[in-house]
Chain A
Amino acid sequence: MDSRELTFKGGVHMHDFKELTNKYSIETGPNVETVTIALHQHTGAPCEPLVKIGDEVKVGQKIGDADATITAPVHSSVSGVVKQIVEITTVSGVKTKAIVIESDGKNEIGYEPYNDDYTKLEPKEIVRRVREAGIVGLGGAGFPTHVKINKNPKDTINHVLVNGAECEPYLTGDQVTMEEYPEKVVIGLDIVMKAMGAPNGYIGIENNKPEAIKRVSEEAKKLSGIKVSVLKTKYPQGDQRRLIDSILGMKMPSSLRSTEEGVQVINSSTAAAIYDAVILGKPLYEKVVTVTGSAIANPKNLLVKVGTSLKEVLEYCGGFKEEPGKIIIGGPMMGEAQFTIDSPTLKANGGIIVMNKEEAKPPVITACIKCGKCVDVCPVYLMPLYLQQNVLNNRFEEAEKLNIMDCIECGSCSYVCPSKRPLVEAIRHGKRELRAASTKK
């Protein structure tokens, strides 16, 4: 174990609210009567249904898939009967078809463990198993994992990094997964190293998770080539490029794919899911979700069946302590505020945060006093105050010259701003305008 605290330049130390859930072990979530499985839960092409109304399905049975390269199949999270195929808008705001399955309450398993030695598997077979299990990046982005671990023959991958930073406030799913299933995380990493032919593996964990560091380090000792890197607790430590910088000291611009420099990064819960897929044959049909926030009655780390409605998850956690003001899917820095609780959960959802009315109140915006705090914290060394000023005055080219397109939208600038300026909000708008202008050309 590397005892230095690794870090990058910039970023924010913030109150992380993890104390609400970080002592709770993973609890199995509600046994629901119906699940609604969205056919588009990942970056890339949506799936087409493989079942029709009236079909009987089992837990883990593939019910949607597509031929596209960048896509991931979806699986049933219950055993039961397909009732409907409907149009929904997901928690990420994507319009998609979804399969409604009525559970028979039996949860009959429809997959089998592979019972073979993973160390002897061909990379191709690993990639195939990961794809069939429908694994997507569980850090929140939902990029199909089989695409990530399928090595381009042109690239040489030297390092595979596991992202166990979990730098978003409130979220503790990665932490409890690392504490309770360290062997899955470590072997999951070893599997990816085998798939990509990478000699070195690192698991980066922030130093506010000592138990996870201890457990994962013990497991890592059993395999060769895997190191645990202790990271300074700081947002956005879990951003892929910041993680690479902290652990390997390599600064990669956003224009470069990390694999071009021989590095691949996967999230720690994704590593555990890879273990489940390649060794146990278990598809990704359930996911640890941190249900937390000041207005939820009983915060929990909950193993939720994909397709369970937010409503049922919230009910399972005892409802609200006080009237909710805002419900966020994901972390508070990059997650999405919801206007309904009828949406089903998706594979990549890491958290449901219920804020109270007071916390949900929009901040009062005052004039920029040029304190420069946004410049100090920007992990990509931009000057958010000037980007915002240019965007709000429709000077998009000026903003482009100031590298607006390099913004990773982590929100650190908006977080620290004492004047509560909408910095990342304006930057996002500016990027959209510039993208629209470049496609028109």
Chain B
Amino acid sequence: MDKENIKVSETNFDNILTVSATPHIRSSETSSRIMLDVVIALVPALIAGTYFFGLRALMLVLVSVAAAVLSEFVFQKITKKESTITDLSAVVTGILVAFNVPSTLPFYMVAFGSFFAIVVVKQLFGGIGSNFMNPALAARAALMASWPKEMANFVAPGADAISTATPLSGGEAVTLMDAFIGKMPGTIGEVSAICLLIGAAYLLVRKVISIRIPLVYILSTVVFLFAFGIPANKLLDQVLYGGLILGAFFMATDYVTAPVSKKGQVIFALGCGLITAAIRMFGSLPEGVSYSILVMNVATPLIEKFTTPKAYGKGGKK
């Protein structure tokens, strides 16, 4: 405590003072911390996926993450850009790509998915923050187009690993409780609603995401499905089967590809809900979550154009 203070008159001020524009203080939040939060939030679902589909599911996630990070690193080396792998966004993309595939997918296919997500969808459009659609979902779409059979090779949870269909595409119905916990066929990351919700709650508490998009998305999906003729007692199945919860909390909330204004986010989520319901009811695909989000990603600039907030005091009393 007896440390002597530095006397002002003895301090040499030549070039020691930083001069910069306001503000002089910044919040402690960083982009990489946000990405870390997303990774943390995905861990419960990863544990569930591994539990239900075995270690192969975990291996797929690891391969996918490795491929994503490596693709980003190599691309940025080749193009002589500063490496951004430490921001953890590639890790998030890698996990999400693997979360969108069945546990039986060959490793090279998931690696291709991650490569496609990072290089084609993200880096070729300018890197983090510049992609116009969600990289993981675009990868899912690319994988569906390239290997439709492998992408639909679902297995029932447990030791038998018998190929089956997801409940959404007319597979065996599962109880609501099993669906909630995740004991049903599906992609690695989408099966366990409870684990996804635990992660989502973490993101909400950390204020990484707001409830606006997921809530409007899920509610509007339910409302539109009901309007399209799904009986009320089957609506909860529709929420729990397939990737709606994963999509609503972890994909549709992607900062880069969703509108920034509150009004825009509501319109975006409503659009996602409408398209998801329409594809599930009238499309030839069992699932509509990825395509609905991708379509709305493309509509995001337009939505933003029409939902630019009015500046303070404008349009009110003059």
A interface residues (Cβ-Cβ under 8 A, vs B)? 12, 14, 169, 241, 250-254, 256, 297, 311, 314-315, 318-328, 332-341, 353, 355, 359-363, 366-372, 375-376, 379-383, 385, 402-403, 406, 409, 411, 414-420, 422, 424-425, 428
Contacts and interface: CB of A to CB of B under 8 A. Distances in A.
15 contacts: A253-B316, A256-B318, A315-B8, A319-B11, A324-B16, A333-B25, A335-B22, A337-B24, A370-B256, A372-B260, A382-B311, A415-B23, A416-B29, A420-B30, A425-B22
A311 B260 contact: no
B18 A326 contact: yes
Contacts of A417: 26-27
Given A297-B5, A320-B5, A415-B27, A422 B314 contact: no
Contacts of B19: 326, 337-339
A315 B129 contact: no
Interface residues of B, number: 48
Contacts of B316: 251, 253
Contacts of A366: 30-32, 84, 87, 128
A367 B23 contact: no
Nearest to A425: B21
B23 A424 contact: yes
B148 interface: no
Contact of A383 (B8, B130, B255, B260): B260
B27 A418 contact: yes
Contacts of B31: 366-367, 369, 371, 418-419
B36 to A, nearest CB: 11
A383 B9 contact: no
Given A332-B24, A333-B22, A335-B22, A241 B8 contact: no
Contact of B8 (A320, A334, A376, A382): A320
Contacts of A169: 25
B80 interface: no
A371 B6 contact: no
Interface string B284-318: 00000000000000000000000011111110111
B261 interface: yes
A326 B20 CA distance: 9
A14 B25 contact: yes
Which residue among A323, A367, A409 has the maximum number of chain B CB atoms within 10 Å of its CB? A367
A371 B34 contact: yes
Contact of B9 (A311, A324, A362): A311
B6 A322 contact: yes
B127 interface: yes
Given A362-B20, A418-B34, A425-B22, 10 more contacts: A250-B317, A297-B5, A332-B24, A333-B25, A370-B255, A372-B255, A376-B262, A381-B312, A411-B22, A424-B22
A340 B17 CA distance: 8
A417 B25 CA distance: 11
Given A251-B313, A402-B308, A321 B261 contact: no
A414 B26 contact: yes
Given A319-B7, A320-B6, A369-B256, A254 B313 contact: yes
Contacts of A326: 17-20, 24
Given A318-B5, A326-B24, A381-B311, A368 B17 contact: no
A325 B11 CA distance: 12
Given A251-B312, A253-B311, A253-B314, A418 B130 contact: no
